[in-house]
Structure 1
Amino acid sequence: MEISAAGRLEVRITTADVGKRVSVRSLIEHEAPGEKFTDTVGVLTSWDKGVLLITRKGGESVRIAESALVAGKVVPSVPARRRGPAASYGELARVAARSWPPVESERLGEWELRAASGFTRRANSVLPLGDPGVPLDEALGAVRRWYAERGLPAYVQTATGADGTQELLCAELEKRGWVREVTAELWTAALAPVADRADPSGVVLSREADGAWLARYRRKAVGEVALRVLQGGPSVWFATVPGAVDGAPPAAIGRCAVDGRWAGFAAVEVDPALRRQGVGTAVMAALARRALDEGASAAWLQVEADNEGARALYAGMGFAAHHAYHHYRAPDADGTGSGR
């Protein structure tokens, strides 16, 4: 907290600091015994009518009455990273978008409108990296019309928790009634240690998602559009660990898209009976070795905030969270899109 020369806590933020990362201490309205203050760190997304709105790294919004402020200051926009390769949000967002391409896209200023017949929200949402070139309400109206013409709900993909993320846009969407449906995180790591985690000798690599691979993939109804998304990207590899008997679904599968220095892992799925036996780690090791051969040096993946098993696995492989990302649905959409 900000402390004056006289040793007193001071509030050193004003409405002019909206959009900056701040740290504040405030009184707890109904405090428990021994608790009087609470600390909040995040982006100050609004300060209106005596109420501050602060968006934390994970995207949660905290409302604080101005009268409850005890101390506050502006803090560096990005805390020092302790693990993982250095990368900006913009770089990772573009790499992730290229790894999971839509079948149709259109530009709205610097925004990209993406559609793939509803196969996953990632391929059927707006990626708002920059200025749409028109006022926000006009842009959102154009977004809703574009998706309505395709029989799809309108989604906007945003991010929080890193330099250049979109806390202010999140706040504006929520103000307009857009509903946050999904929150996940993008994690990064050095690639070489992933390749060394297990013996990949039992893993088969292919350029195509064949029938065996799709038999393990959790989204069973995979049509032509879904295959175009799955097999799209700069350099895509599919990994399969064959089942124990002929004709059985694979023991495990995985997908990796190699793009310059980045290798993006997805669809790592293991037979429930074989989990915690290193099969998934072997899949990732095989894909990582192939990515290293193609010149990649860094890894990324996406994981849901509540998937504790996957988070523990990836943390053990050296991955750490870089930022959170969210999908906001237009208030009158029917939510027919599915998946991350």
Structure 2
Amino acid sequence: MSGLSARDIGHRVVVRHRLPGGQLTDVIGALHSLDSDALVVRHSDSTPYRIRLTDVAAAKPIPPMPLRPVDVEQLFLTTALGRPAVETQYVGQWLLRASSGWTGRGNSLLPAGDPGMPVEDALKHAQTFYEERELPPLALIRLGSPEDEEFRRLGWTDARPEQADVLVMHTTLDLVNAEPAYEVTLTDRPDTAWYGTAFEGEVPAAAPAVMEGAPKVVFASVSLDGKLVAVGRGSMTGHWVAVDAVRVDPAYRRRGLGTAVLQGITRWAGPLGGRRSYLEVVEDNVAALTTYTNLGYQTAYKYRYLTIR
């Protein structure tokens, strides 16, 4: 066999191999594993194919799949499922979220779908929900959406006018699952050291429930000089993998550690059926935005928080 190595794990490959009857066939997919006896290729439908190296006639990497247009409505809902709030309720299909005030995403209305009643009535339900929890009424609004126009017409205004828009960016795993430049440790539960690196100061009380609440979640970390210096979190929803909570110790920044954490998470997602990745970044975070753009991420939509005063 020629053309493949361990560095190609996670990337798309084509493998021509012999079937038991002797005829040749090709399989295309992501290289899942490679050892001295066999390789495993995961097809786009997540089916794994184990091929003995003695049966391989030829194998080589192939270019990544082009970045197809994204279903914005689907992604809008997917972002909520990837980082579930501590408490949720529904108004029709709209999602009310509360997490003791920690993060906007965890404490805001997500108006996705049909509220099952006039919008004005649904918003009154939302206001009551947040008032009962002594939280400000917030709605996460996709800019330029019909809800953006309707909420503002009903008197909702920018909750954080001093802050920039948030970009939700997406890409295909083929573009971001290269072998990390550093060893990335992956665990299904974070420890005290992970939280100590992820947060500057005291960890919010609601954080563990929010961070660990997704059905498929992973916590990535990189250690240098005997200490944890970079962390991140990944979660799977369908074929989407979310990357969030990426933080690098200030003394170790500008070394590609954040990129390594992201790559470690996306490589974890590939064998689980992951095909696409998304993340969120504030528009004026130029350094992070440049990194993600260079990795192949593109903006799917922007959002802001609205409130009623």
Q: TM-score, normalised by structure 2?
A: 0.73
Offset of residue 160 of structure 1: 2.2
Mapped partners of 2:293, 2:266: distance in 1: 16
Determine the structure 2 residue equivalent to 1:319: 297
Superposition map of 1:319-338 within 5 A: 319-331=297-309
Contact 2:158/2:304, CA 8 A, preserved across alignment:
no
Offset of residue 90 of structure 1: 1.6
Alignment partner of 1:271 is 2:271: no
Name the amino acid aligned to 1:217: A
How much is the aligned-residue C-alpha RMSD, in angstroms? Answer: 1.9
Q: Flag structure 2 segments of 5+ consecutive residues without an equivalent.
A: 1-65
Determine the structure 1 residue equivalent to 2:157: 178
Secondary structure at 2:273 match in 1: coil
Secondary structure at 1:291 match in 2: helix
Superposition map of 1:203-282 within 5 A: 203-218=184-199, 220-245=201-226, 248=227, 250-282=228-260
Superposition map of 1:108-127 within 5 A: 108-127=91-110
Name the amino acid aligned to 1:144: Q
- 1:166-190, Cα deviation, whole Å (9 max, x unpaired): 33235325xx143242520100011
Task: Specify which of 291, 294, 313 is matched with residue 269 of structure 2.
Answer: 291
Mapped partners of 2:74, 2:128: distance in 1: 29
Mapped partners of 1:219, 1:121: distance in 2: 18
- 1:103-126, Cα deviation, whole Å (9 max, x unpaired): 111111221111111111101110
Offset of residue 330 of structure 1: 2.3
Name the amino acid aligned to 1:89: V
Superposition map of 1:72-111 within 5 A: 84-111=67-94
Determine the structure 2 residue equivalent to 1:188: 170
Mapped partners of 1:84, 1:106: distance in 2: 34
Mapped partners of 1:99, 1:268: distance in 2: 15
Offset of residue 315 of structure 1: 0.4
Aligned residue pairs: how many? Answer: 241
Offset of residue 197 of structure 1: 5.8
Runs in 1 of length 4+ with deviation above 4 angstroms? none
Give me the identity figure in percent: 32
